[in-house]
Amino acid sequence: PYLGNGRYEGRVAIRAWYETYDSEIRGGRRHRRHSITVPFITVDGETATSVCYLDPSIILTESNVININCDRYDDKLVMVGGTWLFLERIINIHYIHRIAEFDEPS
């Protein structure tokens, strides 16, 4: 359902994905909300894992349809020079619920 499902490695590839996502996907949406739960983090020395759920919702501008998702981030982190950095992020989309009719406040 999202642009370029796949694996992106390195800052250049990840940045390029987000730039394309911003220009091609986000432009056709309004009232974006990206709400995440408190992450459950497990630290093991210089590495860690993190899991949190996100419940984003948006309105598709062209069709005026609301998308409500239930997703999860599964992250692997690594300590580099005293700073935690993402080693891997997997975005799991559990479902997308579409609401075709709604009352939008003016």
Q: What pLDDT was estimated at residue 1?
A: 47
What pTM value is reported for the model? 0.77
Indicate the average pLDDT of the chain. Answer: 87
Question: Mean pLDDT over residues 58-62, rounded?
Answer: 87
- Which position has the higher pLDDT, 60 or 79? 79
- Tally the residues of the chain: 106
Query: Which residues neighbour 57 within 8 Å (Cβ) at sequence distance 6 or greater?
Result: 31, 32, 33, 66, 67, 68, 69
pLDDT above 60: residue 2: no
Residue pair 76/86 in contact (Cβ under 8 Å)? The answer is yes
Q: What is the pLDDT of residues 6-39, one digit of tens each?
A: 788 888 988 887 788 777 777 788 888 889 999 9
All domains of the chain, ordered by start, with CATH?
Answer: 30-99 (3.10.450.50)
